[in-house]
């Protein structure tokens, strides 16, 4: 797996992942019917650093083997606020449904923490971790994030109705 | 005091208040040198409801009395998130320095809670209440908001250095 900054040529692959994640409507508070243009404007907003996780793949065309790659994950890293809040990073992660359970989220998160330190951020904050997204919560806790706030019934889950949302935070300085 | 939806003609007055509040750099995590264009784009963003507090004033020109008015406060009300988070409102308040201590903030906050209910919001969240902004915190607590999260050292205060930030929340349904 290679995690690298996204380029213009990754936009189709990112949109495919984004559309799938947002359409499910259970992990992001975004319009499930967001347009491609709005989605990419959000993911490539000014000030955001956008990355992709590229997986090697082998494709057989008849008996000939082609080594190709596919984008199966993407994340953004950006300041969570401006002015006096510029030192705290925010990040968002998306993995294609077909590639889950392979550690892509964890690899991107570790890459992201490294990048955040490299860019000089002093802390990282997730503003909106939906309490039913237990895989994400476990991962963030494993990576040193703590739940520092609970927003009661702040998310309307497509199956479960109103559920709590967590704010998660970790320092990046010792 | 009259609190009413802002119009295009209020833009100069809003910018004067906005510039003053943001330049102080101690209550909002915004660029203290934000441009007029960016400030008004933020305050009149699509989906935001923008209001002003207009105060009656008496001006004497020689012996003739003129009844005029001036904009001394402004607030915005908007969904805090999209998709499954659309039912939670967010709001931001600004009062001109010269008009503080007259209850303009409280009057706008009460107006805002009424408007939020009228628009069908089920809760209101403040994402970023700087812990040194004790007047605001007292007011929000008095109006039923609770501190539901603490972001450690998330704001770099111009005088006090890194200080905590609170997330505050209140339900709008019984």
Q: How far apart are CA A89 and CA A80, in angstroms?
A: 5
Q: Which of B84, B92, B126 to mutate to test the interface with A (most CBs of A within 10 A)?
A: B84
> Which residue in A67, A70, A64, A89 sits closest to A79, CA to CA?
A89
Q: How far apart are CA A117 and CA A89, in angstroms?
A: 10
The dihedrals phi and psi of A25, each to the nearest 5 degrees, come to 70, 15
Give whole-number Cα distances, A60 to A56, A64, A71, B23, in Å.
Answer: 13, 6, 19, 62
Using CB atoms, pick whichever of B30, B87, B123 lies closest to residue A82: B30
- The reply to whether residue A30 touches residue B83, judged by beta carbons under 8 angstroms, is yes
Using CB atoms, pick whichever of B28, B29, B123 lies closest to residue A154: B123
DSSP code of A164?
Answer: E
pLDDT (tens digit per residue) in B7-34: 999 999 999 999 999 999 999 999 999 9
- The reply to whether residue B171 touches residue A152, judged by beta carbons under 8 angstroms, is yes
Q: Residue A149: how many CA atoms within 13 Å on its side-chain side?
A: 28
Distance of CA B96 to the CA centre of its chain: 11
Q: Which two tokens stand for residue A138?
A: 């476990």
Q: How far apart are CA B77 and CA B108, in angstroms?
A: 11
Percent of chain B scoring above 70 in pLDDT: 100
Contacts of B26 in chain A (CB under 8 A): 84
pLDDT (tens digit per residue) in B95-146: 999 999 999 999 999 999 999 999 999 999 999 999 999 999 999 999 999 9
Q: How far apart are CA B92 and CA B78, in angstroms?
A: 9
Q: Which two tokens stand for residue B85?
A: 């988070």
The residue with tokens 């923008």 is B50
Using CB atoms, pick whichever of A32, A130, A149 lies closest to residue B167: A149
Which residue in B has a C-alpha nearest to residue A87's C-alpha? B154
Q: B149: which strand partners? A: A149, B167
DSSP code of B82?
Answer: S
Per residue of chain A (174 residues), give pLDDT as tens. 999 999 999 999 999 999 999 999 999 999 999 999 999 999 999 999 999 999 998 777 788 888 889 999 999 999 999 999 999 999 999 999 999 999 999 999 999 999 999 999 999 999 999 999 999 999 999 999 999 999 999 999 999 999 999 999 999 997
> Which residue in B122, B50, B56 sits closest to B93, CA to CA?
B50
Q: How far is B131 from chain A (nearest CA, A)?
A: 13
pTM: 0.93
């Amino acid at each position: 797996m290679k995690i690298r900054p996204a380029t213009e040529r990754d936009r189709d692959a990112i949109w495919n992942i984004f559309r799938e994640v947002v359409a499910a409507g259970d992990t992001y508070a975004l319009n499930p019917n967001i347009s491609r243009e709005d989605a990419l404007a959000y993911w490539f907003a000014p000030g955001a650093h956008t990355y992709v996780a590229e997986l090697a793949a082998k494709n057989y065309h008849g008996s000939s083997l082609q080594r190709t790659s596919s984008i199966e994950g993407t994340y953004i890293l950006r300041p969570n606020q401006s002015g006096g809040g510029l030192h705290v990073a925010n990040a968002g992660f998306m993995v294609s449904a077909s590639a889950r359970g392979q550690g892509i989220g964890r690899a991107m998160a570790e890459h992201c923490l490294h990048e955040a330190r490299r860019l000089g951020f002093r802390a990282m904050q997730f503003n909106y971790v939906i309490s039913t997204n237990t895989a994400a919560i476990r991962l963030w806790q494993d990576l040193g994030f703590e739940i520092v706030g609970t927003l009661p019934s702040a998310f309307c889950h497509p199956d479960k109705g109103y559920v709590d949302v967590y704010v998660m935070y970790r320092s990046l300085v010792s």
